[in-house]
Structure 1
Amino acid sequence: MDSIIAYFSTIPSSHRAAILAGGIAFFWLLESVRPMVSFDYRKWHHAGINIFFTLTTIVVNFVLAFVLLMAADYAVAHRFGILHWLPEMNVWLYAILGLLLLDLIGAYLAHWVQHKVAPLWRFHLIHHTDTWIDTTSANRHHPGESVIRFVFTTLGVLVVGAPMWMVFLYQSLSVVFSQFNHANIALPPAVDRLLSWVIVSPDMHKIHHHYKLPYTDSNYGNIFSIWDRLFGTFKVLRKQDIVYGVDTHMAPQEHNSLRNLLGIPFQKKRKATPPESS
């Protein structure tokens, strides 16, 4: 564990970029070998839109990185946060507990709030408009949503009392797991179900991208599946019944146009169709 702490305490920006790019490349290739859905789409055009949003997310996180660093330094210097208020524990338990709590606040809570608070949903909606979910969809976030998610991550760092090495480790894992559970890959059903008891598996997360409620408002997790199971937001749907997208923006000129996607948060609100029975 000491080597992991040492590495993520000083991880170069180039290594973090390599984790992001390497994950996309790996799952991109895997999708072509064993796809979950055989899409009829312009893959490079689709990827171009999603990679644009990936780059804007990188810019937002880079510009605001000093805030995250200040939050982590404050928590450690003042022994502020949950990890500092608990009895001393084994370093592995310390790391796992910290990652669980960061995932709860920085991912699950942030995601749940964006679905429940109308002004925030307007920005998160761009992620759900994608009708061809693949690994590039993982970072399809409007720049406004990137700022919102950053705020929740910073809140998580303060509440948890996470040191910076743990923050970098969490962010690296978050990127890879998001690419994994968005990837258009077909795992053996038994393997996927087994994984979903611990982490967010591809089949589990794809349900969240079904185009209608109540499935859109389910399976919010990113790394760990425990939070959906604990808070009653875990749902199951047969993969053959999943239709990607969001019912208010199913037209290609809306979900496959970069210009329109950037403007969606500022357009007139549309009413969703009644929820399906679950």
Structure 2
Amino acid sequence: MQAFLNFFETMPTWMKAGWVFFVLTIFWILEGYYKLVFTKYNKWRHAKTNFILLAFVMLINLFFGILTAGVFFWLDNSNFGLLQHIAAPVWFELILSILILDLIAQYFVHFLLHKIQWMWRLHIVHHSDKNVDVTTGTRHHPFDFIIRETFALVAVVIMGMPIAFYLFYRILSVLFTYFTHANISIPTKFDKALSLVIVTPNMHKFHHHYQMPWTDSNFGNMFSIWDHLFGTYVYENTVNIKYGLDITDHQDDENILHQLKLPFDNSVKYKN
């Protein structure tokens, strides 16, 4: 187990970036053969907007990499965090850490991004995509992403986890982010059965429906248990899903400047 964790702790930056593009490529290819939604749009033009936003995310990651290193240096030299006060096997601590990270840095912050007005305005950029596919997983306003990363560090501090746990979680999170946004068709019975435990492509697509109440459902990223536990789980007929938001103009959903300014556009009303 320790050798497994050491691999993620010493994983070079090029390999982490390579993992992002590898997962993106795999699901991009699968979308060509197993589509859930058949819509006509320029896939490369659509991806360009989302990839530019991904570039912003990667730049922010450079800053948070320094901040994260500082946090873990402090944790290594302190006795802070829940894991410092429990005696359990490494595998148990790893699973517990991933669960807490998924709860705080994914489900909880995502819930807040929908419920707090100024946060929601930032999150609109993610939901304004009217052609949801694997690249939508990269579509976050820079300020939206900063909020998410801040909550991830809060979870790290609460647990007092080693950096290897956090890096392994990041690798898993990338996989699930692109998996759940990918425009791929999975047999409904199988997808629904999986959604009892993990977030699946069909399950997450209801979250991207253009109208309430589906927009405010299925907040999870990896584990669906939080949505089941807190009553935000939805699973209906995917045929009824329409992507985008009823409060934005989707003619500009591929205009990067418009998307960066969208949260500050007072003409966009807050959802009811």
Do the aligned partners of 1:73 and 1:164 also contact (CA within 8 Å) in 2? Answer: no
Aligned-partner Cα distance in 2 for 1:237–1:57:
32
Letter in 2 for 1:2: Q
The amino acid across from 2:167 in the alignment is: F
**Alpha-carbon separation, structure 2, partners of 1:272 and 1:34:** 35
Describe the superposition over 1:199-239 as per-residue Cα deviations: whole angstroms up to 9, x where unpaired. Answer: 11001110100001111111101011111111111112210
How far apart are the structure 2 equivalents of 1:155 and 1:273? 28
- Write the distance in 1 (CA, Å) between the matches of 2:154 and 2:178: 24
Over the matched positions of the two proteins, sequence identity in percent amounts to 37
The structural deviation recorded for 1:76 is 3.5
Report if the CA contact (8 A) 1:111-1:220 is conserved: yes
In structure 2, the partner of 1:34 is 34
**Partner SS for 2:268:** coil
Matches within 5 A, 1:84-103: 84-85=84-85, 87-103=86-102
In the alignment, structure 1 residue 262 sits paired with structure 2 residue 257? no
Distance change (3 Å), C-alpha of 1:113 and 1:273:
closer
Aligned residues: 272
Q: 1:254-278: CA deviations, max 9, x gaps?
A: 312111101101110533676xxxx
1:263 aligned partner, one-letter code = K
Corresponding residue for 1:140? 139
Q: Aligned AA for 1:198?
A: V
Aligned residues: CA RMSD: 1.3
Residue matched to 1:153: 152
How far residue 83 of structure 1 moved from its aligned partner, in angstroms, is 2.0
> Is residue 128–residue 250 contact of structure 2 (8 Å, CA) maintained in 1?
no
In the other structure, the counterpart of 1:192 is 191
- Structure 1's consecutive aligned runs of 4 or more residues displaced over 4 angstroms after TM superposition are none
Distance 2:145 2:125 in 1: 12
Match of 2:222 in 1: 223
User: Which moves more between the two structures, 68-77 or 89-98?
Assistant: 68-77
Structure 2: tracts of 5 or more residues without a match:
none
What is the CA distance between 1:79 and its match in structure 2?
2.5
Offset at residue 161 of structure 1 (A): 1.4
| TM, length-normalised to structure 2 | 0.96
Give the Cα separation in 2 of the matches to 1:161 and 1:228. 25
Decide whether the 8 Å contact of 1:126 with 1:261 is kept in 2.
yes
Please give the alpha-carbon distance, in whole angstroms, between the structure 2 residues aligned to 1:243 and 1:8: 39
**Contact kept in structure 1, 2:192 and 2:235, CA below 8 Å:** no
Q: After superposition, what is the alpha-carbon deviation per residue over 1:140-162, rounded to whole angstroms, capped at 9, x for unaligned?
A: 00111111111111111111212
Unaligned segments of structure 1, at least 5 residues: none
Superposition pairs for residues 120-139 of structure 1, below 5 Å? 120-139=119-138
TM-score, length basis structure 1:
0.94
Task: Write out per-residue CA displacement over residues 121-173 of structure 1, whole angstroms, 9 at most, x where no aligned residue.
Answer: 11111000001110000010011111111111111111121211111111111
Code of the aligned partner of 1:78: S
Find the counterpart in structure 2 of residue 79 from structure 1.
Answer: 79
Deviation per CA, 1:8-42, whole angstroms, max 9, x where unpaired? Answer: 11111011001100000000000101010112001
2: distance between equivalents of 1:200 and 1:77? 36
Contact 1:247/1:272, CA 8 A, preserved across alignment: no
Asked if structure 1 preserves the Cα contact closer than 8 Å seen for 2:107 and 2:226, the reply is: yes
Q: Distance in 2 between matches of 1:165 and 1:61?
A: 17
